[in-house]
Copies of this chain bind each other. A is one copy, B any other.
Amino acid sequence: MVVLSNSTGYAIRALACLSGLGCEPKFVRDIAKCSGVPAPYLAKLVQRLAEAGIVNSKRGYRGGIILARKPDEISLLEIDEAVEGGAHPDRCLLGMDDCSDARACPTHAFWKKTRADIRKTLLDTTLADVLAFETKKQAATGSRSKKPSTKKPL
């Protein structure tokens, strides 16, 4: 039951630390300490995030990592695809490789809809939302992103 990989989880938490504040670049090692992600591994993830245009990295003296856009303009879906190197292929829930709309396995319709729901949720949820979660330590009626939202109390 794994939807987002460990690596994607790392990236999301690391970016949440990074979006905390300031226009000053942060070092990989500081983000690592703040997020709990192993520093050398985080360095790899940051490279992929930089390639995808989610962060900007600067080498040399006074270098570091900085968000390329505002937190509410970076969706979790984008982070996932940056880390995984592309969109998830639409795998059959049961792993049948001859399952398709034309030849639907018993869970095909259900899974097709669920997959789309998950995708939409990840698209609608931004770093700003995650930041709010990280910041508020208990109570608070948190600030949400500007995007339409599927994350009401429900």
Q: Which of A23-31, A39-47, A51-59, A115-123 contacts B (4 or more CB under 8 A)?
A: A115-123
B152 touches A109 (CB 8 A): yes
Chain A residues engaging chain B, CB cutoff 8 angstroms: 1-4, 6, 8-10, 12-13, 76, 88, 91, 93-96, 103-111, 113-115, 117-118, 121-122, 125, 129-130, 132-133, 138, 150-154
Copies of this chain, how many? 2
Which chain B residues border A129 with CB–CB below 8 Å? Answer: 106
In the complex, the answer to whether B93 meets A105 with C-beta atoms within 8 Å is: no
Contact of A107 among B88, B104, B106, B121 (CB under 8 A): B121
The answer for the CA separation of A145 and B107 in the assembled complex, in Å, is: 13
Query: Would A4 and B95 count as touching, CB distance under 8 A?
Result: yes
